[in-house]
Amino acid sequence: MTSLSSPDTSRAARRSGLMERAITKLLMRPARVVAAEFVSEHFRFIDVEGEALTACDWSAGDKVQVKLDGGLITRTYTPIGWDKARGRTRFLTYCHGAGPGGAWARSTSPGDQRHLFGPRSSLDLRDSGVSPVLVGDETSFALAACQRDDRGAASGSRFVFEVNSLAESRAVLGAIGIVPAALVERRDDDGHLAELCEAVSASAGHASIFVLTGKAQSIQQVSRALKAGGIDASRLRTKAYWAPGKLGLD
Ligand SMILES: Cc1cc2nc3c(=O)[nH]c(=O)nc-3n(C[C@H](O)[C@H](O)[C@H](O)COP(=O)(O)OP(=O)(O)OC[C@H]3O[C@@H](n4cnc5c(N)ncnc54)[C@H](O)[C@@H]3O)c2cc1C
């Protein structure tokens, strides 16, 4: 019978532990959770603070990977703001399913020590024009929150989301000042995607840039519909946030 802790296995474990510590120290910024508040049953604000976050340059749309327990496992979130002087940022997380990201978002509490990789560029919204159309789902609400101006109003931008719960999403979007937003209820057989494509087309202005995020397959379908409707590919910015069966996209 093979021993579970043969010399080979423990050497490999030691090596991977060393590598994890080296990568964490070299590339990641230590920080700790200082506040975690449910906005609704499935959405949570998580505030993270650390001296290392005072030395970051952040732009709206950037991503941060949060290192979770169990090796070099990270999950990606969109900071909704960055207080450089205090070294503090905030995530708006969608707590779904049983994956490590969802589990962390649901259960973290003040004092939780984490390491962050980033902020790094993901979607550059600086050239998105006066009236971008932001399309996505629950995981895109944080990106939408980045579109608010200094007064907290989402001026100019238009928002279209596919969501599991219309009522919950409307309440959360209201709480973060993303009003109005067109919401389409998700169906298991994706039968709602035609309605989603129509809602996106209806939101388009002449000079709009379309920022498509969220579920990979929905992005593909909306993108195809927009191009079929005569929208040039140069007006599309796309970034898949998750895809069924894939783990931890970044
Ligand atoms: C650039 C970028 C920015 C992001 N910003 C945010 C953000 O600000 N807030 C946020 O909540 N999320 C955000 N996400 C999405 C988040 O990283 C993913 O949802 C991630 O997969 C969650 O990790 P997990 O461990 O819960 O699930 P995983 O272990 O990665 O996946 C487990 C299973 O759950 C499925 N799954 C993953 N996400 C969802 C979902 N939303 N709904 C249903 N099934 C899902 C997977 O496809 C897989 O089958 C972002 C992703 C990227 C790439």
Q: Encode pLDDT of 104-118 as tens digits.
A: 999 999 999 999 999
Residues lining ligand 1, judged by CB closer than 6 Å?
63, 75-78, 91-94, 96-97, 99-102, 122, 138-139, 142, 239, 241-250
Which among 42, 62, 242, 247 is the best mutation to test ligand 1's pocket, defined by most ligand atoms within 8 Å of the CB? 242
Q: Whose alpha carbon is nearest atom 19 of ligand 1?
A: 242
> What's the CA gap between 51 and 54, in Å, rounded?
6
What pLDDT, in 10s, does the model give residues 17-49? Answer: 888 888 888 999 999 999 999 999 999 999 999
pLDDT average, residue stretch 199-225: 91
CA 154 to ligand 1 center in whole angstroms: 24
Task: Tell which wins on pLDDT, 2 or 94.
Answer: 94
What pLDDT, in 10s, does the model give residues 115-171? Answer: 999 999 998 777 666 678 999 999 999 999 988 765 555 567 899 999 999 999 999
What pLDDT, in 10s, does the model give residues 172-185? Answer: 999 999 988 999 99
Looking from the CA of residue 99, the nearest atom of ligand 1 is 25
- CB neighbour list of residue 12: distance below 8 Å, 6 or more residues apart: none
148: nearest Cα among 134, 168, 162: 134
Task: Tell which wins on pLDDT, 14 or 190.
Answer: 190
| Residue carrying the six token digits 């195809």 | 224
> What's the CA gap between 184 and 165, in Å, rounded?
9
CA 97 to ligand 1 center in whole angstroms: 9
pLDDT average, residue stretch 180-209: 91
pLDDT at 123: 85
Task: Tell which wins on pLDDT, 6 or 108.
Answer: 108
- Answer whether 182's CB lies under 8 Å from 203's CB: yes
Which among 76, 89, 93, 146 is the best mutation to test ligand 1's pocket, defined by most ligand atoms within 8 Å of the CB? 76
pTM of the model: 0.93
> What's the CA gap between 107 and 95, in Å, rounded?
9
pLDDT at 2: 44
pLDDT at 1: 44
CA 139 to ligand 1 center in whole angstroms: 7
Which pLDDT band, with edges at 50, 70 and 90, does 6 fall under?
confident
CA 6 to ligand 1 center in whole angstroms: 36
Residue percentage of the chain with pLDDT more than 90:
74
- CB neighbour list of residue 197: distance below 8 Å, 6 or more residues apart: 221, 222, 225, 226
Q: Whose alpha carbon is nearest atom 23 of ligand 1?
A: 101
Q: Whose alpha carbon is nearest atom 20 of ligand 1?
A: 248
pLDDT at 207: 63
CA 241 to ligand 1 center in whole angstroms: 6
Q: Which two tokens stand for residue 143?
A: 């990106």
